[in-house]
Chains A and B, each alone.
Chain A
Amino acid sequence: METRKIQVPVMADLFGKGEKPEYLFWVGCAGAYDDRYKKVVRAFTKILTHLNVSFAVLGKEESCTGDPARRAGNEMLYQMQALQNIEIFKMYEVKKIITICPHCFNIFKNEYPDLGGVYEVISYVQLLDKFMDEGKLKLDASKLKNDRITYHDPCYLGRANDIYDEPRSILKSLTTNYIEMERSKSFALCCGAGGAQMFKEAEKGNKEVFIERTEDALKTNPKIIATACPFCMTMMTDGLKYKNKEEEIKNCDIAELIAISLEL
C-alpha cells in the first residue's frame, strides 16, 4: 500500500503564509507528552487528513488549559493560563476548536466564556459522528473482525456535557459486537483520574478506583476497552496490567479504532 507523509499544519506557519485554517486542533498536554496517548493524536491526525479537514495545531505555543489547576483549587493559576491562551486564540483569530481531551473540551466550552473566550468547541467524537452522519466517514464493521468492544464513558464528556450517543454510534459502526457495561452513560463510574487525581496518589482507602472500574469492564468479557480521554486511557491500561489482562484485552481510543478500520 502506498504511504504519504503528513506535515502537521502549525498555526504560526499558516499565518506566516497568510492562510487561515477552519479549526484549531487542540492537542493537549497528554497528547504532546504521554507516549501512549501520542499514538491517539497521531491516529486522529490521520483521520483529519483523510477527511480533508482544514485544521492547524498551535505546537510550541500550546499551553495547559489550566484544568488540573482549577479543579485542584488554584483558580489564580487557571485564570492566568486561560487568559494567556485566550490572547493566543485572539492572535490567530480562532473561532472553532477541536479537542480530543474531554477536560480541555469542557473547560473551553463551559469555562473560558466567563473570561471572554467564546468559541465553537467540538469534541472529536462529535466531529467524527457528524462526518459519519454526512456520509463522509464510512466505517466498515468487518475490519475489527467483530471484536467485542465495551466503552468507558469519560465523566467530562458524559455527565459533565451529556455526550453519550456519539461515541456509541461510532463504536456500533465499528463492530457488531458492542457491549455496554453495567454502570454506563450517566451511571458510569469514574476512572479515578479526574479533578487532578491523575497527578497524585489516591487517598487512603481499600481499593483503587481504576481497579474497580476495570473490573466493571472485564465483566463484559471484551476484546477491546474503548476510551475517549487520555486520563481514562492511563487508568484503564493500568487496570488491565494490574489484572494481567494486557495481552488478551486491548485498551484503545475511539480514534485509533477508526484509524484501524480505515487502514490509515
Chain B
Amino acid sequence: MIKQIVFAIALLITLGAFTFTILRIVSFFKLTKKAFPVRDFGKRFGVMMEVAFGQTKIFRRPVIGFLHALVFWGFCVILIGSVEMVIDGLFGTEKVLKFLGLFYDIIMASGDIFALLIAISILVFLFRRVFLHIKRFEGIEMKKISHLDANIALSIILFLMLSLLGMNSAYYSHTTLVGGTIQGVYPVSKFLSTVFSGLSADSTLVQYEIFWWMHILLIFLFANMLPYSKHFHVFMSVPNVFLSRLEPLGKLTNMDNVTREVKLMMDPNTAFATPAADAPIERFGVKDAEDASWKNYFDSLACTECGRCTSVCPANITGKKLSPRKVIMDLRARMKEKGPMLVRNGKDYTDNKSLIRDYISEEELWACTTCNACAKECPININHPTLIVDMRRYLVMEEGSAPGELKAVFSNIENNGAPWQYSSEDRLLWAVDLEMNIPIR
C-alpha cells in the first residue's frame, strides 16, 4: 500500500510538472501565425506510418540510420511495458497485462531484446559524439550546451535501458528461486540472470524493487526534462511528421494579404481607394519569433539538431554562414526568450531585439538557393526554406532591404518583364532564321 501511495505521489508530481510545461508551450503557440489548414487525415496518417514509424528518411544514411530506427522501434515496444508499470504501480498489481497471453510474451521478449540493442546503439552514439570528430555535430550553432544536452539525454536513455534489463533479470532470478511462473519471455535477461545466480530470493526481490523504481523514476524525470531539451524530439517528432506540409517541396505559400493588395492596385475602380481604417495592419513576412507560423515553431521544437539538413546544404558545404539547422534552432531559442515576455506583457511588447539580425543575419538568409536539400533530408519533415523565404519577405517588403543586384532584378522585372535589362521587343530573336534538317526516313 505504501508503495502505491509513494507511486501515486510521484506520478502526480510528474503529471503536474508536465502539464505546467505543456501549458507554457501552448501559450507560445498562441502567439504564432496560422499556417496551412490540417486536412487530409488519411494522407497524413500514411505519411506518419511511412516517415515516422517506417523511419524511411532516416535511412537515407543507412548505417547510423539503422541504429536510430532500432532505438525508435524499441521505444515503441518498451512504451507498452512502461504503461504496464504505471498501472502496476498505481493499483498494486503485478504484470497486469499478462492476460494478453502470447501477445504479451512477444511484447516482453522484443522489449527485452530491444533494451539491449538500444543500449548498444546509445553507446555507439555516445562514442561517436565524444571520441570521433563528426562534422555534422559541429558548426557555429553547436555550443557546448548543445553537446552537453545531447550527452545527458543519451546517458539517461542508457540508464533507462540498463535499469530495464536489471529489472527483468532480477524478476527472472527471483521468480525462478521462489518457484513461481515467469510472466512474459525475456531472452536477454534470462541470460543476464545467471549473473545473479548466487543470490538469495530476498536479495533478488530487493534488486527487482530497486531497478523497478529506478526505471520508472527515470522515465518520470526524463519526461519532464525533455521539453527543455532538444530531446523534446522524442515527443514532438511523430506529431510533427503527422502535421507535415503535404505540398510539393517546390511550392511556396501564397501570401493572401498581398493578393488582396495587388488586386486592389490592378483594379482601376479601387486603385486609389484607401484601405478600410479598421483593417488590421499585418506585418509582411517573418521578422521575429511570433511572426512565424505554428508549424515553424512546431518544427523547431521537434528538431533534435542532428544536422542532416546542414550537411547537405550547398551554401554550408561551400563555407557560407547559412546553416538550416541554425535557423530552426534560432527560432526555438528566440521564442524561449521572447515568448514568456509576450505572454506576460501582451503582444505589443518589444525588447528591441528580433529573430532577424540578433539571431539570424541577412548574410545567412541571402545565401539560400532554395534547393530544398535540407527539407528533403530532414528525417521528420521540417521545412526550412519556407521560413527562410518568409524572412526574406520581411526584409524586402517591410524594409526594402536586399542585395543590390537583386534590387536591380526587381526593377528589371517591373520595367521590362525579365530579370535582365532587355527589351521585350527582343523576345523572339531566338526564332529568327530557324531551320531544320528534314530527316531521311
B is bound to A: yes
Question: What residues of chain A have their CB less than 8 Å away from a CB belonging to chain B?
Answer: 1-6, 8, 10, 27, 29, 31-33, 38, 41-42, 45-46, 49-50, 57, 59-60, 62-64, 66, 68-77, 79-81, 83, 106, 109-111, 114-115, 155-156, 159-162, 186-187, 189-190, 192-209, 212-213, 262-264
- Given A111-B251, A160-B250, A197-B369, are A75 and B428 neighbors across the interface (CB < 8 Å)? no
Asked if B249 and A159 make an inter-chain contact with CB atoms under 8 angstroms apart, the answer reads yes
- Given A60-B425, A63-B418, A70-B252, are A42 and B413 neighbors across the interface (CB < 8 Å)? no
Asked if B438 and A3 make an inter-chain contact with CB atoms under 8 angstroms apart, the answer reads yes
Q: A187–B371 Cα gap in the complex (Å)?
A: 11
A182 to chain B, nearest CB (A): 13
Q: Give the residues in chain A near B438, CB-CB below 8 Å.
A: 1-4
- Given A193-B369, A263-B437, are A77 and B414 neighbors across the interface (CB < 8 Å)? yes
Q: A51–B297 Cα gap in the complex (Å)?
A: 51
- Pick the contact of B320: A8, A27, A162, A205 (CB < 8 A): A205
Asked if A262 and B393 make an inter-chain contact with CB atoms under 8 angstroms apart, the answer reads no
Asked if A8 and B437 make an inter-chain contact with CB atoms under 8 angstroms apart, the answer reads no
Q: Give the residues in chain B near A114, CB-CB below 8 Å.
A: 254
Residues of B within 8 A of A (CB-CB), count: 77
Q: Give the residues in chain A near B395, CB-CB below 8 Å.
A: 73
Asked if B262 and A68 make an inter-chain contact with CB atoms under 8 angstroms apart, the answer reads no
Closest 3 CB pairs of A and B: A160-B250, A73-B392, A195-B370
Known A4-B435, A8-B434; 9 more pairs at CB < 8 Å: A33-B427, A46-B436, A50-B439, A64-B417, A72-B396, A73-B389, A106-B248, A159-B250, A200-B403
Question: What residues of chain B have their CB less than 8 Å away from a CB belonging to chain A?
Answer: 60, 247-252, 254-255, 258-259, 261-263, 265-266, 284-285, 312, 314-315, 317-322, 363, 366-373, 375-376, 385, 389, 391-397, 402-403, 405-406, 408-410, 413-414, 417-420, 422, 424-431, 433-440
The closest CB in chain B to the CB of A43 belongs to B436
Asked if A189 and B434 make an inter-chain contact with CB atoms under 8 angstroms apart, the answer reads no
The closest CB in chain A to the CB of B364 belongs to A203
- Given A77-B413, A189-B373, A199-B419, are A6 and B436 neighbors across the interface (CB < 8 Å)? yes
Asked if A194 and B409 make an inter-chain contact with CB atoms under 8 angstroms apart, the answer reads no
- Given A83-B262, A83-B263, are A29 and B420 neighbors across the interface (CB < 8 Å)? yes
Asked if A189 and B248 make an inter-chain contact with CB atoms under 8 angstroms apart, the answer reads no
Q: A80–B424 Cα gap in the complex (Å)?
A: 17
